[in-house]
Structure 1
């Protein structure tokens, strides 16, 4: 049983329930020494991160608990789980290089630390914590994944189209999930975040003056954060553990592609160090379907990762639709459609794959939310 808030811990201690098997994650246990000691044997209690003063730590260890301490010299808290955009872009006023997002990427690619066993462990713990909270966040939701290239410019018709698609899906009740980066991913997240077509149009107009993240990530992100403030208004951000039912926009980026900064138009961001875990997780959680917009190598990789479980699905398994948007793109410029069709021939997946000309044809293929 995981306990992630002090209120939950108080309730459990008041109930006199056993502590064996509990996982206390990210809690400040400064004032809890006596209450924990009252339970005697603490064998099987695991403390993950948080604040554990030396006297409390000694008490826990001598009574059989296991403590995984916080990490002081890493640029991320490995126990924290999901991020808000403001977490990753804190300090942007001093330039993107000073933000936690940029510092985490620099730490990740540091040649001396890349294979260091301690740093590898920290990254693994971090990604597992993200996965743990992400599972809770999407539980019970119909998630539609939108894939597409990072190079799409904010002032293009294609960007506006991707944003309109994200908005339409969110209005239907789907949680819109993307790779969390720039371009088509940003557009879809922006569309989902906006609660009206008018707000979406205004937001695109606000950010179009900085059409891409190159060469200046700082201006690109600052313009987007200002637009986000207008979209969400003065409402405070809800804690991630209570946002699941109301969230509309989710980003799942990676520091593996750290040269592509995360977009800020997500309700929450699940950012990973491992791209393999991130990509598999994004596709596996897209239980409402996957929509693929124009893209190049990275998007093609995602297409075939999505195809693999469809190919091996049993005859009676319900299959979420895979919709490729842009007939000319996917049959001529990047001709993967013929291969997808060939793999699907004679298999249940043949009914799940679709090639359409425009985003207007997508929504009827996905249907209503079915988590």
Structure 2
């Protein structure tokens, strides 16, 4: 039975519902019940005060739904014709999103297609409820873990030096922390791959990258790209946990299959804010373009206004890249000067240096 803080009680299964009522409770005020079949619990529902309870996507007999609404509960029914569970209680897995005999028929591709076609009020409601539910599931997954984030571009091809460096970085970080990325291809996939291989030796990274290099990009075939990744997972079946936080806003970029837990959102602004928020162990920024630069200064803004006890390290990797090609470092350095964050921003040349700065447990 999952304990919750304060006056909110999350109930995600019929067993949990039954166990809690067995304590002799008389009120469900503050309860959030999600995706539970309550059609056989008429007597229980009639025996308690439901004012202040929230029923999300639960199966209810019509008479019971009318009764609990009349007695002060709020009921959100399932959203019709939506290919998502708006009230899901767990994060996605790679096998769940890619499940099919071809990517175009996979849940991930079908959900993206639906999100582009259907702009009705019901569809928008379903997306918002889904993202809220993913946020709650992410809170559960993060609990007890300290996450280090790695941000970087989606264009790094499998087999390139930047990709191999990202994989080694993910493996190093995962010895002491859980790793979180934006969950997409390129540098993000590389870091999740390294996190997945954290329990294997360095040779495993080299072998895995060699296997993946046969399909260097998700273009032109996402299916072939994903198949290569799942072949690596089959070769190394005892992968460690890591987190990916992608978005269907960039639905043309598939989620990478190496994150064990995938918090996929529809709304990119919400996803970006949450990605930075959960990385309390610090964030490493590999070379990237517009999206990575945006993330640098979103994170810098959080640190700029934070007290020193709340500041998370920021590490930019690639001295030439961040001072000459995309000179974000001089601006970041100027912004930090004289602030508590100044000693927590770093510019390094190698992923080994970056890992050393944030890998203290």
Q: 2:303 aligns with which of 288, 306, 310?
A: 310
Q: 1:199 aligns with which of 192, 199, 204?
A: 204
1:214-229 equivalence runs, <5 A: 214-229=219-234
Structure 1 position 157, deviation (Å): 1.8
Residue 31 of structure 1 corresponds to 40
Cα RMSD of the aligned pairs, angstroms, is: 1.7
Structure 1 position 62, deviation (Å): 4.7
Distance in 1 between residues matched to 2:276 and 2:169, nearest whole Å: 18
Task: Quickly say closer, same or farther: Cα 1:27–1:230, change in 2 above 3 A.
Answer: farther
Residue 253 of structure 2 corresponds to 260
Residue 184 of structure 1 corresponds to 187
Residue 243 of structure 1 corresponds to none
Distance in 2 between residues matched to 1:220 and 1:343, nearest whole Å: 40
Residue 84 of structure 1 corresponds to 93
Q: Secondary structure at the match of 1:298?
A: helix
Distance in 1 between residues matched to 2:303 and 2:30, nearest whole Å: 37
Q: Output one character per residue of 1:295-316: Cα deviation in whole Å (capped at 9) or x when no partner.
A: 11111111111111112223x4
Distance in 2 between residues matched to 1:61 and 1:346, nearest whole Å: 56
Distance in 1 between residues matched to 2:259 and 2:126, nearest whole Å: 25
Structure 1 position 105, deviation (Å): 1.3
Pair 1:97 & 2:100 matched: no
How many residues matched? 349
Distance in 2 between residues matched to 1:319 and 1:364, nearest whole Å: 18
Contact 2:10–2:33 (8 Å) recurs in 1: yes
Q: Output one character per residue of 1:229-265: Cα deviation in whole Å (capped at 9) or x when no partner.
A: 33235x9xxxxxxxxxxx6310000111111110011
Contact 1:203–1:227 (8 Å) recurs in 2: yes
Distance in 2 between residues matched to 1:142 and 1:65, nearest whole Å: 37
Pair 1:248 & 2:253 matched: no
Contact 1:33–1:59 (8 Å) recurs in 2: no
Pair 1:279 & 2:281 matched: no
Residue 326 of structure 1 corresponds to 318
Contact 2:173–2:359 (8 Å) recurs in 1: no
Q: Secondary structure at the match of 1:171?
A: coil
Q: 2:73 aligns with which of 53, 59, 65?
A: 65
1:146-165 equivalence runs, <5 A: 146-165=150-169
Structure 1 position 222, deviation (Å): 1.6
Residue 350 of structure 2 corresponds to 358
Distance in 2 between residues matched to 1:118 and 1:5, nearest whole Å: 25
Q: Secondary structure at the match of 2:36?
A: coil
Distance in 2 between residues matched to 1:28 and 1:228, nearest whole Å: 35
Q: Secondary structure at the match of 1:120?
A: helix
Return 5+ residue gaps in structure 1 as ranges: 236-246
Q: 1:140 aligns with which of 121, 137, 144?
A: 144
Residue 9 of structure 1 corresponds to 17
Residue 167 of structure 1 corresponds to 171
Distance in 2 between residues matched to 1:54 and 1:199, nearest whole Å: 56
Q: Secondary structure at the match of 1:263?
A: coil
Distance in 2 between residues matched to 1:265 and 1:55, nearest whole Å: 46
1:336-347 equivalence runs, <5 A: 336-347=328-339
Q: Output one character per residue of 1:102-125: Cα deviation in whole Å (capped at 9) or x when no partner.
A: 112122222xx33x3222211111
Distance in 2 between residues matched to 1:212 and 1:126, nearest whole Å: 29
Q: Secondary structure at the match of 2:236?
A: helix
Q: Secondary structure at the match of 2:309?
A: coil
Return 5+ residue gaps in structure 2 as ranges: 1-8
Structure 1 position 35, deviation (Å): 2.4
Distance in 2 between residues matched to 1:229 and 1:80, nearest whole Å: 27
Task: Quickly say closer, same or farther: Cα 1:312–1:65, change in 2 above 3 A.
Answer: closer
Structure 1 position 55, deviation (Å): 4.8
Structure 1 position 199, deviation (Å): 3.3
**TM-score, normalized by length of structure 2?**
0.92
Q: Secondary structure at the match of 2:256?
A: coil
Distance in 2 between residues matched to 1:42 and 1:318, nearest whole Å: 39
Q: Secondary structure at the match of 2:157?
A: coil
